[in-house]
Amino acid sequence: MPVEMRQVADCIWEIPQTGKMRVPGRIFADAKLMQVLKDDEAPQQVANVAHLPGIVGYSLAMPDIHWGYGFPIGGVAAFDPEEGVVSPGGVGYDINCGVRLMRTSLTLEQVQPRMRELVKTLFRMIPTGVGSEGGIPKLSRAELQAVATEGAGWAIGRGYGRPDDADYIEEHGRLAGADPEAASDTAYARGAPQVGTLGSGNHFLEIDVVEEICAPELAERFGLRPGGIVVLVHSGSRGFGYQVCDDSLKKLQKVPQRMGLELPDRQLVCAPIHSHEAQAYLKAMACAANFAWANRQVLMALAERALCTALSISAERLGARLIYDVCHNIAKFEEHEVGGVMRRLLVHRKGATRALPAAHPLVPAAYRDVGQPVLIPGDMGRASYLLVGLPGSLTQTFGSTCHGAGRVSSRAKMLRATQGRNLQQELEDRGVVALSKTRNSMAEEMPEAYKDVNDVVGVMEKAGVSRRVARLRPLGVIKG
């Protein structure tokens, strides 16, 4: 039976607290996006999450919400450290899946005539696809443990990027509390050849043009100009993070029964934050988060080298600089005001992005007067966005906003719908040169599989959570 939802503001729909729900649920969406949700199980998942012990405020969902494992993708939930739980389903299998944005000195006029060559060079120099390996030489166990503890700093120390890149990465590219002994041998075996690899699914590396400046005074601070060329990297912790999640789900399976906790969905397996099982998960999750930051750091460096190779220019002439790197799937302890009191909470974000406003101490010093950059990838045919966080994020969403367009069609449905179609030509007709490891990986991710990202970011802007700075149009894409 569909859950009851009532509109309480222009862009907010509330699921009343009923039964054993400990808090109400809230979904950020307009009428158009709510129509998309009418046949989706994700609102029920929002209600299910509200049953978990120690949840604070609301079980939240962003406008890119769709069905996921346990928690909906697009879900946000904060838990009290003493009474609350940690749930791997609230982070997901691809721990610290995230996005980074790199600006360049290039212009549309310089790259458009050579886009096919640029995409081919990126595809050749950056490993893509399921099980892909070879971004950098296979790492030893000791090196992998260093990756798991040092994060992006490991890659920077080995010549991938610049010394100040860490200043422009969430958590400076290193999540504290990582214990390399908390990750399994299988996780290390899977991760050993995968640092510097893009992977498959919705992961991509994209060349974009700055198509529209929405907030000139902010765009200037980020070094963006109309017609400028940027690179968007979307990837995560690869097989290492997947294995950490899988291992943890198995270890936590019997904890709810031991707690005497009745769950509305067995995928919401969880453990009290102070328990041995939860602490072990958080230590292993931090390792996977650090793996992902190291991975994206290497990918950006490989992309920079590929662009220089394809265009026969120097790194100085390319002028590549990291604007920011954000994570989408993570659980972190943060300070938030609840009922007029500052509280330390464990915030789960699954398919949601941190979006802190100006003056917040966790915003990088270079951007503290304008707010934290928020990177929202769209789909291969429409647009992506750079946003900044607004004060409303702290009062409404535990400092969170959307993370992308959000699926409307399953991968299986897309494979059926695209049979017999020339997908590459369809994208070229939109002005996008795309290469993928397999036809299926492109079919699964065609633009029609997603909501319109313009609608999604518009909801969060109207709600006062985040603000559009620049719209980016894809020119070239590589996928697994």
| Token digits of residue 432 | 């996008």
Per-residue DSSP letter, 349: E
C-alpha distances (whole Å) from 435 to each of 115, 167, 335, 343 are 12, 32, 43, 47
Residue carrying the six token digits 């862009």: 11
Which residues contact residue 110 at a Cβ distance below 8 angstroms, ignoring those fewer than 6 apart? 229, 311
Taking the alpha carbons at both ends of the chain, their separation in whole angstroms is: 38
| Side-chain half-sphere exposure of 47, counting CA atoms within 13 A | 18
C-beta atoms surrounding 262 within 10 Å: 9
Long-range CB contacts (< 8 A, 24+ apart) of 265-268? 265/45, 265/48, 265/70, 267/69, 267/70, 267/89, 268/48, 268/49, 268/51, 268/52, 268/70, 268/71, 268/87, 268/89
Q: Beta strand pairing status for 271-272 and 353-354? A: unpaired
Contact 179, 110 (CB under 8 A): no
User: Would residue 66 show up in a list of annotated catalytic residues for this protein?
Assistant: no
User: Annotated catalytic residue: which of 51, 66, 328, 403?
Assistant: 403
CA-closest candidate to residue 171, choices 150, 199, 143: 150
The CA distance from 444 to 408, in Å, is 11
Query: What phi and psi, each to the nearest 5 degrees, are found at residue 186?
Result: -65, -40
In whole angstroms, what is the distance from residue 32 CA to residue 381 CA?
20
Ordered strands of the 341-350 beta sheet? 6-9, 12-15, 25-28, 55-66, 73-79, 341-350, 329-338
Q: With contact defined as beta carbons under 8 Å apart, do 394 and 357 qualify? A: yes
Asked if residue 293 lies in contact with residue 325, where contact means CB atoms within 8 angstroms, the answer is yes
The catalytic site residues sit at 403
